[in-house]
Structure formats: C-alpha cells, structure tokens
Chains A and B, each alone.
Chain A
C-alpha cells in the first residue's frame, strides 16, 4: 500500500519525503487545484526543486489539477497540465472531463488519476474515466462504507486510493456547492470551501461568533475552543434543537481499519492536509508510515498503537476523530 501525503509548500513536501511518504501531491498557485489558499502551493521554481527533492529519494510526485474550468479560465487549466507534464511529474490528479480529455490527448504517456473531486463512487463511473481517458487510479469519495469500498475495489478496472486521515468532507466531493451558495466560490469553481475572504470573527456579548458572508456559522461560549467556520461544521437549529446538524468539527482517522483496507485491495492511502503545517505533515506521515509497515508485516495481529493515535488526535480538527462513512452507524 502506498502512502500519499500532502505537500502544500516546499517544507511540507520535504517533511513528507523525509518521514516515509511513497508519494506526495501538490498544486500550482491558482484556482486549478482544490486547495487554492493564499500563500500555499508551488510556483515554478519551488515546483522544480520539490520534484527533484522527492524523485531523487524515490518518492513520486502527483500534481492535483482538480477543479472545474469554465470557458473564461480554460487556458489556465490547459497550461497547468502542460506545465506539470514539462516538469516530469509522475501523475496528474484530475477531476474535469474536459481537462482529462485534453491531458490524455496532448500527453498520452502521462499517468492520470481520477481526483476525489471527480466524484466516482461506483465501478461503473470509474469505467467511464478509464475507458475514455485511460486513468490508472481513482481516489474514492468519503461516502462509502468499508463494505462498499470492497465492492468498488473488486470491480473497478483500476486500483483505488482512499482517504486515511485528515479533515472530513461529509458531502460527496465534486458535487457540493454549499460554499458557492453562501460565498460565490466553491471547491469546483474556485478551489476552496468556505473561503477565507468571506470569513469574519466577532467578539460579542453572546460569545465569539464566526460568520461566512454574514451567515452565522458558529457561536462559541466561554472556554470553547474556536475553529475555522467550515459551513457544514457549525451548530444550527433544526426543529428547536441547536446542534451540529450536518457534522461535528472532526477529522477522519482510519488507522484502526488499516488491515481491512489492505485486505480489500486498497492500493494507496491518502492523507489530507495541504493547508496544514510542515510539522503536521511530518507527524502524520511518520505515524502512517510506521502503521503501514507494521500492517504489511503482521496484518493479522495489527492494532493501532495508542502512541500513534494520540499523535493523530492532537493534530485533528476539534481534537476528535471519526471513522466517517466507512463505519455504517456514522451515516
């Protein structure tokens, strides 16, 4: 099983490589990737340096070009594909059908992966991308139970990659536009969910309030630790009850499921978090490297060590973790 780790910048890339990643994934500094945040991602010089650093050490580099271009921006996506190909990356992670069509015609030898943003949750959907564009791997959306991952892995024409750890999208990726409904910008169109330019923090007599384009997402009482106002992770009121109506601020952690994921034929585990610090990348990569190594050697006796879990918990959103959709009761 490959360990695919996030590289939001050069220090993170090096942290991932130095701590045992099999591959790193990165994006360019614009809206062509789904972590389009200020100060993040790679310009040309850093990309060259990062790719050399990783490949010299036997670590693959994937470039995410996984948002959906509209006609006015098309040339930017085309340029990103060409640029990544020129840089000699190991694979592109793509979501849009048009971009995939361009990439496979212009660069027939370049390896393509279907991004989680491509929203393929079944072997039939995967067959479309494999048959038309020759994709060689698919990243599965975080909506499938373990049993369903197994079914897809068994019938998919290409190996599957799944998310192992990091921030959790509760909606099926690539088909959630809650963010643009509130702010005008979505992961699909802009490469960011609940973008920072729409966020405001206000100290009020009722507590600290976080808003997204003036919509109240969260209000913290004294002593509660405040988090980023991702709009699906706030407390709202339904039928008179105020609670996390969509999802708690929590991270996905599937370390306990590692032997099962391996046995159902998952080819790679993806770690979320290109927006996180190099220290996060180093810690999480190190834990997962150790866990995967141990699981490969002793799949039957594998159990997640408490020292690993405590490291992961500390860097989790809201300091809590969940098995997410893999675990049926969560649904």
Chain B
C-alpha cells in the first residue's frame, strides 16, 4: 500500500511536529530544539512534505527552505529528510525530495543545495557564511545516491566538522541556466568552493596571517 503524501499544515503543528521530531531525532546524537523546527516550518511550511501510512502515521518527512542568497539567486535548501526505517528502500525519500524541489520550482527557485555527511547516520550543522545548514540523512551512501540521481553534483568536500569527525559533501543543483553568473551582494564568488573572507582562529582577515 503506497503512502499518502501531504503538505505540512501549520494549523496542525501539535500533531505533526511531535511526530516529525520523533522521526528525525531518532538518528541524531544531538536533537534539534523546537526552535529549529519552527524556524523552518513557520517560514517555509509549504516546502515541507509528509508521508503517512494507511493508519495515518507519519513515516517520512522533508523540511526545506527557500530564500534569496545575498540578494542573488533564489536558493532552496533541503534541511531535513527522514523516512522510518521499515519503509526505506521504497522510493519514499526520493518522492518527498521531488515534491520539495517541485514546490521550489513553482516558486521560481534558481538552485537547490544540500550537504551530505559521510559514514554517519545523521549529520549535524555546519556554518558557512552567515547561514547554518542542517543535515539529516539516513544512510549517507544511499542519501548521496538519491540526490545525485536527481541531478545534484558535488561542489566541495567539507573537512570533518563538529561532533562526528567525518567529512561531508556539498551538493548543488541548478534549476535554471545562468544562475552561476548571477552576482550576489557581498561577495560575488562567495558561494562555491571559495574560502572567501573566512575567519580562522585568531585571525580575522582573509590572508594566511601576516608575513611582511
């Protein structure tokens, strides 16, 4: 019996968010606070989709957001994705991600981003520029394949971050031609592969420390 797919509804937060947290937290060593869920759901609830079984229990969820990146391209971001273990391998996750991307396309998105952590069950957060990026994956080899089948490609590898000591890949999908050439506000080439004016411990400027 195939699951029923529904769009998240803010009016049903009490019922949905609890189930969603349970589904996602299961694989997380460190759970997200309620504020993280609300951050996404209150602003981009229409980009969140749920899969329900025949008893109307939640078996899958995708949470995402969409906003202009520094006044530049309209960037979608897949924040969390989870499918209940016994339902995995049936294409539910792919369907959910497709629904999210389709909804983004309807809203004229230029690109979609995703980061995948290797070797671990669920990833955590990484900080890049002024955005934080959330990671949720089930099994990451599988997750990587899922996104790559949809046409995402790896734009960079991220060295071990935070808790788990594992590396990750950032995946990018362009939905329109010419996105790469769109100038963004602060840093024209900030979003891809570039350290940009990154800070390092004890150093506040872009260079590798002063020499002369």
Chains A and B form a bound pair: no
Residues of A within 8 A of B (CB): none
